[in-house]
Amino acid sequence: MEITRAGDMIKITRINTPLGEMIAGALPEGICLLEFSDRRILNTGYKILSKYLNSPVYEGENEHSELLRKELYEYFEGKRKMFSGNMVLAGTEFQQSVWRDLQNIPFGETRSYSKQAEAINRPGAVRAVANANGLNKIAIVIPCHRVIGEDGSLTGYRGKLWRKRWLLDHERKYSGKAVDQSLF
């Protein structure tokens, strides 16, 4: 499926958050990137995204990145639990199914990788699900931080484990659910 039209470009902008600076990328169709700026391979990620979406990357904003900035601010203030903007999912059909399912995990809750694999009717694909979570290019909005180990432990997060802990604590605080201290 052709995602972009000739002349489309991915516009990249910086967004300051309580967890550090993030980089947002948007096409005319929607957000395609939200990563923490301290990722070592961020430039490589730009190249992969540009190639996958057949779009060059330039600095700038559009209506999607402006909406994302507003909604992230509301999220960090504890006033927003879901994001409303359009997204462009740059990945395989399987990866996209995993990323869509992540959005079904309620704010303030967690799910194990095996439960996530069961939720997409692929119970034997736990490792593939974990790998797809790790390739999620739209942090926080597609809440891969809500997926934990089967034993309740925190596992890998592209944005670093301390941020995953912070996000889970933040969401539990504003969801009214008790914080699970075993995660800390």
pLDDT digits over 128-178, tens only? 999 999 999 999 999 999 999 999 899 888 899 999 999 999 999 999 766
Whole-structure pTM value: 0.89
Half-sphere exposure of 79 (CA within 13 A, CB side): 6
> What is the chain's length?
184
Three state DSSP letters for 96-118? HHHHHHHCCCCCCCCEEHHHHHH
What residue type is assigned to position 134 of the chain? G
Percent of the chain past pLDDT 90, that is, above it, reads 74
181 has pLDDT over 90 = no
Predicted confidence (pLDDT) per residue in 57-70, tens digit:
999 989 999 999 99
Residue 183 has pLDDT above 60, yes or no: no
Phi, psi angle pair for 31, to nearest 5°: -70, 135
Average pLDDT, the chain: 90
Cβ atoms of 110 and 177 within 8 Å: the answer is no
Does the active-site annotation cover 32?
A: no
In Å, how far from its chain's centre is CA 180?
Answer: 22
Distances (CA, A) of 54 to 2, 15, 44, 90, 137: 9, 24, 15, 11, 16
Q: What distance, in Å, lies between the first and last C-alpha atoms of the chain?
A: 43
Domain ranges of the chain: 10-76, 93-183
Please report which confidence band the pLDDT of residue 4 belongs to, taking 50, 70 and 90 as the band edges. very low
Q: What is the CATH number of domain 93-183?
A: 1.10.10.10
Catalytic one of 144, 147, 148, 154: 144
